[in-house]
Structure 1
Amino acid sequence: MGERLKDKVVFITGAGSIGEGWGNGKAAAVQFAREGAKVYASDINREALDDVIQIIRDEGGTVEGRICDVSKAAEVEATVQACMDAFGRIDVLHNNVGVIDPGTPEQLTEEQWDRLMAINVKSIYLTCRHILPIMVKQGKGSIINVSSIASTHSLGYPCISYTASKGAVNAFTRDIALNYGPKGIRCNTILPGLMNTPLIHQKNVVSVYGSAEEMVRQRDALVPIGHMGDGWDVAHAAVFLASDEAKSITGIELPIDGGITLKIK
C-alpha cells in the first residue's frame, strides 16, 4: 500500500466495470485506495459497485459506496451528502462516467442525444455543483474528468454526440481550472485513446472484427507503441493528478493513447 493519497477522500463516479476485467473506473477506485485514499464509490450497477468495494476491502482499504444515476440531480446530491456523512470531506472528485452512441445528427434521435449529454456532460456539472462548495470551504481540491481523444481527433466513423460531449468536458475543465484556481482547486482532464478494457469486449464491438483476438490485434496495430492502453494506465494518471505531486498542474488535457494522436488529424 502506498501513501501518495494518504487520508485524502476521493469521490469517484462510474467506479464499477462493464463485465469481467478492469475498466478505467474500477482500476482507478482500487488504485486510489492502494495509495491510501478513503474512497467513496458510486455506480449505476449494483453488482459492479459491490465488486469493486469488495476488492478494496479485501486489500485492507477504506471504501464506502452508493448506487447513483449521475444524470439525476437528486441522486447526485444524496450521494455527495452520503460521502460527507461517511468521511466529512472530499479532497478529490474523479468523474469517470461516459457512454458512446455512434451516429450522425440525421441518425440519432433527440432522446439519444439528450441521454448521452445527460450522462457525459450534465453529470460532471452536477457533481461539481455539489462538491465545489465543499472544496472551496476546505481551500483545496482536485477534480479529474475523463474525456477522450475523440474530443480533439476524429474517430474515423460518425459519432457526433460522443465527440461533442467530450469536447464539452474539455471546455468545462478549463473553465473550472481558471475560475477555481484562486480558491485552491485544480481541475484536469484525462483523454484515453484506444484502451483494452471490458467495454470493447462486449458482443456488439467484437462482432465487427469477427473475434476478440482479431479485434485486439487490429487495434494494437494502430498504436505507435504497439499496443493499446488499459484501465491501469488511466488509473495511474488519475492518482498522479489527484496527488500533491501535481500541485502546479491544472487545466491540462492529458492523452493516454500510446501516441496514436500523433498519427491522426
Structure 2
Amino acid sequence: MSERMKGKTVIVVGAGSSGPGWGNGKAAAALYAREGAKVFAVDFRLEAAQETESIIRAEGGECSSFRADVVSSEDLRDMAAACVEQYGQIDVLHNNVGIVETGGPVETSEESWNRVIAVNQTSVFLACKHVLPYMTARNSGAIVNIGSIAGVRWIGFPYVAYSAAKAALISMTTNIAVQYAAQGVRANCVLPGLMNTPLIREPLAKTYGGNVDSMIEQRDKLSPTGKMGDAWDTAYAALYLASEEARYVNGTSIVVDGGLTARCV
C-alpha cells in the first residue's frame, strides 16, 4: 500500500457489516487502515464495529470501536469527542450508514418514510454537525458521504424514501462543501450503483421474488458490465476523495456504477 492516509484519523460511521462478507463501511475502514490511517469504527451494533477492528488490528493497523445510534445527536456528539480524546484529531468523516425499504408513496408507511429519512439523511446532518467544529478548529478536513445512484435516477423498483434521502444527501453535501471550503474542509459524495454487499440480501430479496441467487442474477444483468460492483469499488472511490490526491476536489459526486446511469434504457 502507498500509505496515502498516513498520519490521518478517520471516523467511519457504519463501519460494521449488516451480514457476512464485506459491506461498504467495513471495506472502507479496512482500506483506510491499510493506507496508514487510524480508524475510529462506529456502528449501532458494537460487535460489528469490533469485528472490523479485529480485522484491522490483525493486519497491523490501528483501530478503535465505538457504539452509536446515528439518529441520536447525543451519541454522535459523544462519538466526535471520543475520537478526539483517543486520537487527538479528526481528519476524515466517512458517513456510510444506510437502510433500504422499498415502496412508492402509496405503499410506504409514514413510519417507514420517517425511519429511512432519519437513518439515511438526518444521520449525516448530525454527524457533520458534531464533527465540523473539530475540523474547522484545525482548518482541515474531508467529509465523504456514501450516497446512491437512486438519488439521481430510477433503478428498477420504487424506493421513494430511500431515493429522496439520497437525493437530499447530494444537495446537503454540496452545501457543506461550499460553506466550509474557505475553512479548509472538503465534502464529496460517492454514488454506488447496483452493488453486491450484505445490505441487499435481506431487504431486497423479497422485491426480486424472494430468492437471493435470482436477485443477484437479475441485478448483474442490469449492469452494462454484466456484473454488480462490490464494497471495494465503493471504498477505493472514497479513499481517493479522502486523500490529499483529491485536495482540490470539492462539492462533487463520483458515480461508481459500471456505467448504469450513463445508459438510457
Q: Which secondary structure state, in structure 2, belongs to the residue aligned with residue 202 of structure 1?
A: helix
Contact kept, 8 Å, 1:200 with 1:206, in 2: the verdict is no
Matching residue of 1:27? 27
CA shift, 1:208, in A, is 2.8
- In structure 2, list runs of 5 or more residues that go unmatched: none
Question: How far, CA to CA, are the matches of 2:202 and 2:149 in structure 1?
Answer: 21
Q: Which secondary structure state, in structure 1, belongs to the residue aligned with residue 189 of structure 2?
A: strand
Question: How far, CA to CA, are the matches of 2:207 and 2:105 in structure 1?
Answer: 25
Contact kept, 8 Å, 2:205 with 2:211, in 1: the verdict is no
Matching residue of 2:44? 44
- In structure 1, list runs of 5 or more residues that go unmatched: none
Question: How far, CA to CA, are the matches of 1:20 and 1:104 in structure 2?
Answer: 29
After superposing on structure 2, the runs of 4+ consecutive aligned residues of structure 1 that deviate more than 4 Å are none
Question: How far, CA to CA, are the matches of 2:217 and 2:264 in structure 1?
Answer: 19
User: Across the two proteins, how many residue pairs are aligned to each other?
Assistant: 265
CA shift, 1:11, in A, is 0.7
Matching residue of 1:53? 53
Q: Does the C-alpha gap of structure 1 residues 8 and 148 become closer, same or farther in structure 2, counting only changes over 3 Å?
A: same
Matching residue of 2:89? 89
Return the letter of the residue paired with 1:4.
R
Question: How far, CA to CA, are the matches of 1:109 and 1:197 in structure 2?
Answer: 26
Matching residue of 1:72? 72
Question: How far, CA to CA, are the matches of 1:135 and 1:250 in structure 2?
Answer: 15
Q: Does the C-alpha gap of structure 1 residues 56 and 26 become closer, same or farther in structure 2, counting only changes over 3 Å?
A: same
TM-score, normalised relative to structure 2: 0.96
CA RMSD in angstroms comes to 1.5
Return the letter of the residue paired with 1:153.
R
Contact kept, 8 Å, 1:151 with 1:166, in 2: the verdict is yes
Matching residue of 1:165? 165
Q: Does the C-alpha gap of structure 1 residues 61 and 128 become closer, same or farther in structure 2, counting only changes over 3 Å?
A: same
Matching residue of 1:260? 260
Question: How far, CA to CA, are the matches of 2:91 and 2:49 in structure 1?
Answer: 21
TM-score, normalised relative to structure 1: 0.96
Question: How far, CA to CA, are the matches of 1:264 and 1:61 in structure 2?
Answer: 43
Residues 134-213 of structure 1: pairs in structure 2 closer than 5 A:
134-202=134-202, 205=205, 208-209=208-209, 211-213=211-213
